[in-house]
Amino acid sequence: MKNNLSPIHPLDQWISQIKQGQKQLSVLVDPDKCPLEMVPELLRNLPRQTSHLFVGGSTVAPGLTQDLVRTIKNLSNLPLWIFPGDAEQISPLADGLLFLSLVSGNNPEYLIGQQARAAAILRTMQLPTIATAYLLIDGGVDSAVARVTGTHPLAIDDPEKILNRAMAAYHMGAKAIYLEAGSGAHNPVPAEIIRRVKMATDLPLIVGGGLRELDQIHNAWSAGADMVVVGTAMEEVLSLTQ
Ligand code: 1GP
């Protein structure tokens, strides 16, 4: 039972922010690309709209995530959610965990395998989770997600398939949807797809991949994204991308 001292679950807080019409921007920090000594500069350079930080990556060396989360939490009050490439990236110091299921693909390892490993880790800590259906959409590049998970992105000219996958996740109990064009995507998720997924599911909607310009971010918000995620553009500001 909740008492007055219980922290608000990040999902409840997020839903109430969405109901108030607040659009959100999350900056994705990849532990493989952000050395700990860069964290103060990263935090100084965050766009003023930044509401959240995501930490995670497709291929992160063990241990790096914990150190990065600890360093960020010492310096910033922004809510920090783990956006894990695999179960080893879970950190008890975070404020929440996107409990992802890669429903765009048919690889059982990313539909239930990693999730079972994550469940075992979660039994040892108290970390709020947000059940999130993760859909990889073709962004015009070979994405790390496709490579690491051995799955194909969904084609943008087949919106019915995208909708069916999103709706299946809704019926399976997903609490949020994440439309991902892939890091460094040439083409962000099209507005029409964002609009249709939002209308069909009415779930909190995260959109990321290839968002660089302010107008792209505003387009995603206007189409129905509640939160957009920016990674590469921020890395470029800090010269972290080779
Ligand atoms: C988050 O993978 C994205 O959804 C980040 O993409 O690196 O292209 O911003 P970018």
pLDDT in tens, 93-114: 999 999 999 999 999 999 999 9
- Determine if ligand 1 sits within 6 Å of the CB of residue 210: yes
Angstrom distances, CA of residue 107 to CA of 3, 4, 25, 99, 225: 40, 42, 29, 16, 26
- Residues 146-175 as b or e (16 or more Cβ within 10 Å = b): beebebebbebeebeebbebbbebbeeebb
Q: What percent of the chain has pLDDT over 90?
A: 89
Give the integer Cα–Cα distance in Å for 209 and 201: 21
Question: Is the residue at 6 inside a domain?
Answer: no
For residue 117, pLDDT over 60 is answered with: yes
* Separation of CA 1 and ligand 1 centre (Å): 37
Q: Are 140 and 99 in contact (CB under 8 A)?
A: no
Task: Output the residue whose Cα is nearest ligand 1's atom 2.
Answer: 183
In the block, tokens 């968002």 appear at 211
Residue 79 lies in a domain: yes
In a domain, 27, yes or no: yes
Q: What's the domain range around 212?
A: 23-241
Mean of the pLDDT values across residues 47-69? Answer: 90
Instruction: With respect to residue 10, please indicate whether it lies within any of the assigned structural domains.
Output: no
Asked if residue 48 belongs to a domain, the reply is yes
Establish whether residue 207 lines the binding site of ligand 1, counting it when its CB lies within 6 angstroms of any ligand atom: no
Question: Is the CB of 183 within 6 Å of ligand 1?
Answer: yes
| Nearest ligand 1 atom, CA 209 | 6
Pocket test of ligand 1: the residue of 226, 230, 235 to mutate, having most ligand atoms within 8 Å of its CB, is: 230
111: amino acid identity, one letter: L
Residue 32, token pair as written in the block: 């493989």
Give the model confidence (pLDDT) of 152-201 as tens digits.
999 999 999 999 999 999 999 999 999 999 999 999 999 999 999 999 99
Ligand 1 binding pocket includes 185 (Cβ within 6 Å): yes
Please check whether residue 16 lies inside any domain of the structure.
no
- Tokens 């890669």 appear where? 102
Where residue 164 sits, what CATH number does that domain have?
3.20.20.390
Quick one: which atom of ligand 1 is closest to the CA of 234?
9
Task: Please check whether residue 4 lies inside any domain of the structure.
Answer: no
Ligand 1 and 25: CB distance under 6 A: no
- In a 10 Å sphere around its CB, with 0-12 CB exposed, 13-18 middle and 19+ buried, how is residue 115 labelled? middle
User: For residue 184, how far is its CA from the centre of ligand 1 (angstroms)?
Assistant: 6
Q: Supply the pLDDT for residue 4.
A: 55
Residue 50, pLDDT > 80, answer: yes
Say if 18 falls within a structural domain: no
Q: Per the structure, how many domains does the chain have?
A: 1
